[in-house]
Amino acid sequence: MDGFIHSTESFGAADGPGIRFVVFMQGCKMRCKFCHNPDTWDISSGIRITPDQLLNRAVRYRDFWGDDGGITFSGGEPMLQSEFICQFLELANNLDIHTAIDTAAQPFDPYNSYITRMLDLCSLVLLDIKHIDSNKHIQLCGYDNKNILECAEYLSYKNIPVYIRHVVIPGFESDSELTRLAEFIKCLKNVNKIELLPYHTMGKHKWESLGLKYQLEDIPPASQSDIKHAEMIFRKLDLL
Ligand code: SF4
């Protein structure tokens, strides 16, 4: 089947281990107020491509991947095109390529066989947990976090390697909420890495060019000390 991609990046260094070919998938149902890719939201647009065409494009860069690198699906939300990605991963696995899925897991449904198969087939999941509190999650992203946390537990149960990613937004999260997040992560058995990422405003111009009002106008980018403070809370639970 065909997939719809927004764009690709040949030498990604921030989405999984090593140097990676990053595929930004089209489509996302969430509306995170800090989204830096709002131009990927519309699932009915994008570049149409087959799994073979995409793989052929990616493997041109294989010499640069070394032992750690590979291919990452990001977005947008890759889970919305899991049938296409399953077909792609079957081809990539035949070539022993390391693959990662960067997801916020909003459409996760344990009874959706394409989604679970996609998670089973990839080498690594980069799971974004936007907020541990369901009400704050709704406020921030437009959806609650129930199935996102369920996805984290599913990945742990299946022992699929995971990096947990969390964006630190100044003033949006209390210490007790960060502690709850750390306690939740502590219960997972498959977490290889935790990335506490600073909130930034680099996507703001995209909102403006789409005619959208940027939602976190009054919140400054996270400082070094905001990140250090969050790290200190995670360190108390031996997570970093
Ligand atoms: S899940 Fe990712 S792509 Fe979707 S709105 Fe949130 S930040 Fe943007």
Kindly report the backbone phi and psi dihedral angles of residue 127, in degrees, each rounded to the nearest multiple of 5, phi listed first: -100, 120
Asked if residue 28 has its Cβ within 6 Å of ligand 1, the reply is yes
Do the strands 3-12 and 20-25 form a parallel or antiparallel pair, or are they unpaired?
Answer: antiparallel
Q: What proportion of the chain, given as a percentage, has pLDDT over 70?
A: 100
* 190 vs 152: CA distance, rounded Å: 9
Which pLDDT does position 67 carry in this prediction? Answer: 92
Tell me the pLDDT tens digit for each residue of 58-91.
Answer: 999 999 999 999 999 999 999 999 999 999 999 9
> Which residue has the CA at smallest separation from atom 6 of ligand 1?
32
Give residue 126's pLDDT band: very low, low, confident or very high (50, 70, 90).
very high
* Span 11-40, pLDDT tens digits: 999 999 999 999 999 999 999 999 999 999
> Minimal CA–CA distance to 152: which of 134, 126, 174, 178?
126
- AA letter at 172: F
Q: What is the pLDDT of residue 204?
A: 93
- The answer, yes or no, to whether any atom of ligand 1 lies below 6 A from the CB of 152, is no
- Mean pLDDT to the nearest integer, 94-121: 98
How far is residue 17's CA from residue 98's CA, in Å, rounded to a whole number? 9
Look at residue 207 in the predicted model and tell me its pLDDT. 96
Mean pLDDT over 144-148 rounds to 98
State the DSSP H helix or E strand holding residue 101, giving kind and residue range, or none if neither: strand 99-103
CA 224 – ligand 1 centroid, Å? 23
pTM score, whole prediction: 0.97
Q: Residue 169 C-alpha to ligand 1 middle, in angstroms? A: 15
Strand, helix or coil for residue 117: helix
**Ligand 1 neighbour 77 (Cβ under 6 A):** yes
The pLDDT confidence band at residue 136, using thresholds 50, 70 and 90, is very high
- Would you place residue 51 in the very low, low, confident or very high pLDDT band (cuts 50, 70, 90)? very high
Give me ligand 1 centre to Cα 94, in Å.
30
pLDDT at 123: 98
Domain boundaries, the chain: 3-235
**Is CATH 3.20.20.70 what the domain over 3-235 is classified as, yes or no?**
yes
Give me 184's structure tokens. 């939740």
Ligand 1 atom closest to the Cα of residue 40 is 3
What interhelical angle do 224-235 and 175-186 show, nearest 10? 50
The predicted model gives 202-216 an average pLDDT of 93
Q: What is the pLDDT of residues 166-204, one digit of tens each?
A: 999 999 999 999 999 999 999 999 999 999 999 999 889
